[in-house]
Each structure stands twice: as structure tokens, then as C-alpha cells.
Amino acid sequence: MQPASGVWGQLEVLNALILREMKTRFGKHQLGYLWCVIEPSLWIGTFVFVFQMGHRTAPNGMDTVSFIATGLVPYMLFRESATRSLNAIGSNRGLLFYPQIQPLDLVFARTVLEFFTLVLVFGVIVSVSSIFTDNWPHVADWLEFGLGFCAAAALGTALGLLLLGLSVFLPVIERLYSPLLRPMFWFSGIFFTANGLPAPVRDVMLYNPLLHVIEFVRTGWFLEYRSQYASPSYVLTWILALGFLGLVTERVARRRLEVK
Amino acid sequence: MISLEGVTKAYAVNSGLHLVLNDVTLDFPPRVNIGVVGDNGAGKSTLLRIIAGVEAPDHGRVTRRGRVSWPIGFSGGFNGSLSGEENCRFVARIYGESADEIVGFAQDFAELGEYFEMPVKTYSSGMRARLAFGLSMAIDFDVYLVDEVTAVGDARFQKKCRAAFEARRGRSSVIIVSHGLKTIRDYCDACAVLQHGRVVLCSSVDEAERIYQL
């Protein structure tokens, strides 16, 4: 009889890892976990401020704050999921000491925490902005909006998992990852929409699955915007392909990930 | 009851592969305290990690019936920036135990005083071992896997550890890895000798000593 076994046991492990991660990440600050929410909120607030100072407005009559938030938050969710998955083992190697904790648990715990944190961040930004403008948003389609967030997290985790497996054999990946992913910030539709791009540019841009994801989030959130180009099957193909390759490499790399 | 079937494990070294366990088939009889002896680097800790399930063997199979602990030792398993208490809470959660009970027991047993609420990185290795030991004793395992830890701490703490195991005799057993025969003699009924990738089970420590000295 092994109490911590099966699905329930694995959920207990995930729960313990998430609570632990919350404590280790910002445990030293007095506000604790709240910092995880405050920090990105301030960062996005700055962006909105700069965007408005430049007298830029969002296309299609979308609210500027929501426009930036629906772009930046999914982008951050993708990037953070990928980065945290890639680094999941390095900082937690000691945990693999407990037989019931596997590398995948460390990756999933971080993704789940990242997901809820950034959903909170999004809520905080939209609420604060709505209080100031007294203009509460009407969400067009909660399901599409929610699935967009899930897709951002899944895409990031799948990529992070693959990179984690590969970095066991090619440590240089940990250094190259950040500069190689940086252009995503400019090409994923944080500051533009696919509908608004000229056709030749758009055809190239649409190879980027994160652009599709952000288009979903915006179509789900805004009554004013409906993406004509976002393709669910394209995003799903990326997630499944990266996820499959990630699981395979993790399997191959697992032996090397063991504690010494 | 733990059994190994054709367990093989090798590590890559500069000159090729170093075979640590070579096709080991062995049944650890239930409720018998067993000491594993072997020279430094013979693979005692590896054997313990494989028994625990921390590492997978290259070939072969490990079967565990009952609740088996993690390899209790002085290193690993604790997060240095979290306090002793927080670490205990975490381990209680992953074993599905009540965190408050486990923390209370471990605190009592480890006798760390104020240090229990301090980050583990401020601990000496003896204090870490005491925490690890107190924590593992708080959880009801059928088999405790112990990596040298009992050799740490002062005489009084060692006595306490022995008493804790004595109180569990009949309910739980222990598999201890050590290169000192004294520890083994103190705790164990039987002995296993690990040499050149093979494990030989002996019914007494004296018998093991004869083989081991060869």
C-alpha cells in the first residue's frame, strides 16, 4: 500500500510543488506571492503608459489598455511557461531525490502556477483600468478567451520541455534560448492585429503560432474584433508536435537528469 | 519486501563504462534489518537509490511491496532557502500525510531549537542529518533506507535513533548502507556485501566480515 500513488498521489505532489514554488520564489519579501502579480502588472502598466504617451490608439476601436493586456499577458504566459519549464530541473534537482517526484511534475507545477498568476495579472490590470474609466468590458466569448490562455501556456510548456530535454545534451541551448526567442515579442501581435497587416507580411507572420494564440484571445475578449486568420488546428498541431518531441526527449534525457 | 531481479547499472567514466551493479538478483526478506557493506565507491549509495526508485536501473526490475522511504542521508532532499519546518511540510504533503503532525514530530525528534524555523542552508551537516532523520521517523514507512546518516550526531542522538528503530521492530525494517561494520552491528540482523558489482547476502554480520575482509 503506497498512499501517494496513482492520479490522486500525483495531484498531491503537484499541489505540494506549487505551494513550495510560491514560497521559494518570493518568500523573502513581505508581500510574498503578491509580488508575482504586482511585478508584471507594473510592467504592463508602463507599456500602456508609453503606448498612450505616443498617442497611439488600438485598432478597430478596441480599448487601449485591454488591447495591450490581451497581447502582452498571453505573450508573457508563453515565455514564462517556456523559461520556467526549461529551468525546472536546474533549480530543483534536489527534489528528484524523492521517488514520487519526476521531472515532468516539476515542469507542470510551474506551468500551472504561471497560468493562475498571469490570469490574476490580467484580472488586476483590467479591473484597475475599468475602475479608472468606469467602463467595464463585455467579454465576447469566454470559452475562446480561456482556450487562448490555455494554448499560450501549452505552447510555452511544450517548447520548454523540448528545450529542457535537448539542453541535457546541448547545454548551449540555455544561453541561446533567450536571444533567439526575443523577436517573438515583436512578431506575435502584441502591438498589431493580423487583420490589419498587408497581405504579403501577414502570410509570413502567420507562421508564428503565438500570433494565432493572441488573435484567439482578442477575438474572445473584444466585441469589436474578430480575427479572420487565426487557425485552431495550426496552433494545436504546434502544441502536439512540440509536446510529443518534448516528451520523447525528456524520456531519453531522464537518465541524465537523475540526482548524483 | 523488496526484490531485485537482474538489476544492472553502469555509469559513464572516461575509460568507458563503470559497472556498479552487475546482474544483481536478491530478495530482501521482510522485517529484517539489513546492513549493506562495501568499499567507498563500490556503489552502496547507488544500490540504495535504485531500491528507493530515485534512479532507474539500466536493466532489470525492482519490486517494492509496502511503503519504502526515500534514501535518508545528510545531503539532498532539502531546499536550502526554506526553513526546516517548511521542508518538513513539503515532504509531509508529497507523502499525503498531515503536515502539522509531521512537523510536530520532526521538530520534537530533531531537537534543532530555534534553527527549526531558520533556512536549512544555515545548518551544519549534523543538524541536517538530525532533521532528515526526525522527518523520516515521523512518517510510517515499512522500510527505511538509510545512507550512513546514523553515524552522524553525538552519542546521545545516536542512542535516540537506535531507540526509535527498536520501537519499530516488528513493524518496520531498515536497510542501512555503511562502510563501518560497527553501525551495522548495532542495527542489523543480516548483512549484504557489495563487491565488484555483486551482492552477497549473509545471515550474520560476522559471516559478512569474513567475506568482506577477503
- Judging contacts by C-beta atoms under 8 Å, the chain A residues touching residue B54 are 96-99, 258-259
Asked if the model's pLDDT at residue B149 lies above 80, the reply is no
Looking at every residue in chain B, the average pLDDT score rounds to 86
Asked if the model's pLDDT at residue B214 lies above 80, the reply is no
d(CA B202, CA B208): 6
Which of A43-52, A201-210, B192-201 has the least mean pLDDT?
A43-52
B96·A12 Cβ contact <8 A:
yes
**Confidence at residue A4, expressed as pLDDT on a 0 to 100 scale:** 46
B77·A20 Cβ contact <8 A:
no
Q: How confident is the model at residue B101 (pLDDT cuts 50, 70, 90)?
A: very high
- Residue in B200, B131, B193, B142 with CA at minimum distance from that of residue B171: B142
- Please state, in angstroms and as integers, the Cα–Cα distance from residue B69 to each residue in A151, A259, B132, B197, following that order: 38, 16, 11, 24
A259·B49 Cβ contact <8 A:
yes
User: With a CB-CB cutoff of 8 Å, which residues 35-74 of chain B face chain A?
Assistant: 49, 52-56, 66-68, 70-71
Asked if the model's pLDDT at residue A44 lies above 70, the reply is yes
**Confidence at residue A5, expressed as pLDDT on a 0 to 100 scale:** 61
- The verdict on A260 touching B (C-beta cutoff 8 Å) is no
**Confidence at residue A2, expressed as pLDDT on a 0 to 100 scale:** 47
Residue in B56, B66, B70 nearest the CB of A98: B70
Contact of B58 with A103, CB cutoff 8 Å = no
d(CA A230, CA A221): 14
Nearest CA in chain A to B51: A99
Asked if the model's pLDDT at residue B74 lies above 80, the reply is no
Between A and B, how many residue pairs show a Cβ–Cβ distance under 8 A?
68
Helix (H/G/I), strand (E/B), else coil: A160: helix
Which of A28-32, A79-83, B94-98 has the least mean pLDDT?
A28-32
- Min distance A27 CA to chain B CA atoms (Å): 9
Average the pLDDT over A68-88 and give the result.
94
**Confidence at residue A134, expressed as pLDDT on a 0 to 100 scale:** 84
Task: Kindly report, residue by residue over B16-48, the tens digit of the pLDDT.
Answer: 888 889 999 999 888 889 999 888 778 888 899
CA dihedral A74→A79→A82→A87, nearest 10 degrees, is -140
- Please state, in angstroms and as integers, the Cα–Cα distance from residue A65 to each residue in A226, B59, B94, B165, following that order: 18, 58, 41, 63
Asked if the model's pLDDT at residue A57 lies above 60, the reply is yes
- Residue in A154, A1, A54 with CA at minimum distance from that of residue B96: A1
| DSSP state string for B23-90 | EEEEEE-TT--EEEE--TTSSHHHHHHHHHTSS--SEEEEEE-S-EEEEE-SSSSS-TTSBHHHHHHH
Model confidence, pTM:
0.86
- Judging contacts by C-beta atoms under 8 Å, the chain A residues touching residue B53 are 99
**Confidence at residue A243, expressed as pLDDT on a 0 to 100 scale:** 97
**Confidence at residue B41, expressed as pLDDT on a 0 to 100 scale:** 77
**Confidence at residue B152, expressed as pLDDT on a 0 to 100 scale:** 63
**Confidence at residue A258, expressed as pLDDT on a 0 to 100 scale:** 66
- Judging contacts by C-beta atoms under 8 Å, the chain A residues touching residue B70 are 97-99
**Confidence at residue B162, expressed as pLDDT on a 0 to 100 scale:** 84
- The verdict on B82 touching A (C-beta cutoff 8 Å) is yes
- The verdict on A96 touching B (C-beta cutoff 8 Å) is yes
- Min distance B40 CA to chain A CA atoms (Å): 15
Question: What ipTM, to 2 d.p.?
Answer: 0.81
**Confidence at residue A28, expressed as pLDDT on a 0 to 100 scale:** 65
Which of A4-8, A81-85, B81-85, B96-100 has the least mean pLDDT?
A4-8
Q: How confident is the model at residue A90 (pLDDT cuts 50, 70, 90)?
A: confident
More confident residue, A254 or A111: A111
Residue in A2, A17, A254 nearest the CB of B67: A2
Instruction: Give the number of other Cβ atoms within 10 Å of residue B204's Cβ.
Output: 13
- Residue in B34, B19, B36 with CA at minimum distance from that of residue B194: B36
Task: Kindly report, residue by residue over A102-157, the tens digit of the pLDDT.
Answer: 889 999 999 999 999 999 999 998 998 899 888 888 899 999 999 999 999 999 99
Cell of A175: 544561453
**Confidence at residue A259, expressed as pLDDT on a 0 to 100 scale:** 54
Asked if the model's pLDDT at residue B9 lies above 50, the reply is yes
Residue in A9, A20, A100 nearest the CB of B90: A20
| DSSP state string for A10-28 | HHHHHHHHHHHHHHHHHTT
Q: How confident is the model at residue A79 (pLDDT cuts 50, 70, 90)?
A: very high
- Please state, in angstroms and as integers, the Cα–Cα distance from residue A101 to each residue in A156, A246, B52, following that order: 22, 18, 12
Asked if the model's pLDDT at residue A29 lies above 80, the reply is no
Looking at every residue in chain A, the average pLDDT score rounds to 89
Average the pLDDT over A178-182 and give the result.
90
Q: How confident is the model at residue A234 (pLDDT cuts 50, 70, 90)?
A: very high
A4·B66 Cβ contact <8 A:
no
- Residue in A67, A76, A63, A69 with CA at minimum distance from that of residue A122: A69
Nearest CA in chain A to B86: A20
Asked if the model's pLDDT at residue A31 lies above 70, the reply is yes
Q: What is the CA radius of gyration of chain A?
A: 19
Task: Kindly report, residue by residue over B187-211, the tens digit of the pLDDT.
Answer: 888 888 888 888 888 888 888 878 7
Interface residue of B48, B94, B102, B149 to substitute, partner A, most A CBs within 10 Å:
B94
Asked if the model's pLDDT at residue A162 lies above 90, the reply is yes
d(CA B198, CA B75): 26
Task: Kindly report, residue by residue over B150-168, the tens digit of the pLDDT.
Answer: 556 678 888 888 888 888 8
